[in-house]
Chains A and B, each alone.
Chain A
Amino acid sequence: MSEPKSGPKPKYNLETAKILLVEPAAHGLEILSQIFTGFGAKAPHRATNAEDAKTIVRKTDLDLIVCESQLEGDIDGYDFVNWLRHSKIEPNNFTTVMIISGHTQKSKVEKARDCGANFIVAKPLTPKVMIDRVIWVARENRSFIECDNYLGPDRRFHSIGPPPNTEGRRSDDLPLEVGEAVEPNLPQDDIDAMLQPKRVLR
């Protein structure tokens, strides 16, 4: 994402944003903290494990959660996000969540996809990448999807239906094949009227 070449540059204010940073490694948490403080965030909440993060989620309304995928103990970052989405703790269950991840184990790729995060950012983190992602998630206006096996932001970004060459998993997905017409064609005049609407003078 780049700023406009001419005119005043847009500004983004993280001073009042309530942010939670979850990272088990002390140096990792320090890096995250320095990046967000450098962006202008005031004293982001910090947690080193899922239990502490849950405590903060229960007490404070948050605008953004940044969570490392590998946490200590039985609950990893993906489990934490999944818990958050199903927690019914409003408004935090709909809060924007960015997962940060170094290497992702092959066995966890599906878990990462299905946890309900808004964005997954690969390490190493750089300030440029992070601010771009923060602005991206701040601008997005995705609905949440709730179904049998997923609760989180709509993963279909562009409203182009299910992925190519798949039948689609949702009951309202249209079939791949376009069937025979079941109604007569519209008269050409009606089509023209739709394409070139004219003001009606009374």
Chain B
Amino acid sequence: MSAVKKIRVKNTLAAAVRAPGGKTIAEAVAGAEARLEDIKDDCLASLDKILASLAELIENPNYLRREEVLAGLYDLSNDIVGIAGVAGLGDMGKAAFSFCDLLDVFIDQGGWNAAAVEVHMNGLKLLRTMSDKIGEAGRAQILEGLFAVVKRIKADANPAGA
């Protein structure tokens, strides 16, 4: 059991936000959304670059050690999680999150499942290029499939915890 020292601290952010002027929550949100709209095309371009880097890493993994490939794929996929929503592709972000989940199993417990990786890559590409065409139901179906794959891989990797 540890002895605890409590320290009173001054929240300087509180004093700053209380200064006269400023914005209501609605004004602040509108201001930020307008600015994000301005960089939407840049975000879409970044997503395409990330997808290309992911594909390259999966197709030509031999020049790196296995851990580096997994870490690279994980980081790239995590980048998509952060950008896709701003680009108006929230479901692509969810698919990337599922890919991170999958890669985390490989990082944590070893193993590799090419089919599971491929299905995630295909899902990501589809959600990037055909998002409007396949509609909400189509996007939900893709995500459901990806989540099921990860659930199965997790169960296989850790039967006791499944």
A contact set with B: CB distance below 8 Å? 1-3, 9-18, 25, 27-28, 30-31, 34-40, 61, 63-64, 70, 91, 94-96, 102-103, 105-107, 123-128, 130-132, 134-135, 137-141, 143-149, 154, 168-173
What are the 5 tightest A-B residue pairs by CB atom distance, in nearest-first order? A13-B22, A38-B32, A124-B85, A103-B100, A127-B32
CA distance A38 to B38 in the complex (A): 12
Residue in A closest to B34 when the chains form the complex, CB atoms: A38
Q: Most chain-A CB neighbours within 10 Å: which of B4, B22, B46, B107?
A: B4
CB atoms of B24 and A38 under 8 A apart: no
CA distance A143 to B96 in the complex (A): 37
CB atoms of A105 and B107 under 8 A apart: yes
Residue in B closest to A35 when the chains form the complex, CB atoms: B32
CB atoms of B1 and A170 under 8 A apart: yes
* New contact pairs (9) apart from A18-B16, A31-B82, A170-B2, CB-CB < 8 Å: A10-B24, A14-B16, A27-B79, A27-B82, A34-B32, A125-B85, A131-B25, A145-B5, A171-B2
Q: Please choose the segment from B7-15, B118-126, B129-137, B139-147 that sits at the chain A interface, where 4 or more of its residues have CB less than 8 A away.
A: B7-15
- In the complex, which residues 21-42 of chain B have their Cβ closer than 8 Å to any Cβ of chain A? 21-36, 38-39, 42
CB atoms of B18 and A13 under 8 A apart: yes
Contacts A3-B24, A12-B28, A105-B107 given: A171-B79 contact, CB under 8 Å?
no
Contacts A40-B23, A102-B97, A170-B1 given: A70-B78 contact, CB under 8 Å?
yes
A107 smallest CB distance to B (angstroms): 6
Partner of A124, one of B9, B19, B27, B93: B93
Interfacial chain B residues near A173, Cβ < 8 Å: 1
B86 smallest CB distance to A (angstroms): 5
Residue in B closest to A167 when the chains form the complex, CB atoms: B1
**A–B pairs, 12, beta carbons within 8 Å:** A13-B20, A17-B17, A35-B35, A91-B10, A102-B100, A105-B107, A125-B82, A128-B29, A137-B11, A144-B6, A145-B6, A149-B2
A80 smallest CB distance to B (angstroms): 17
Residue in A closest to B76 when the chains form the complex, CB atoms: A25
Contacts A15-B19, A34-B36 given: A137-B81 contact, CB under 8 Å?
no
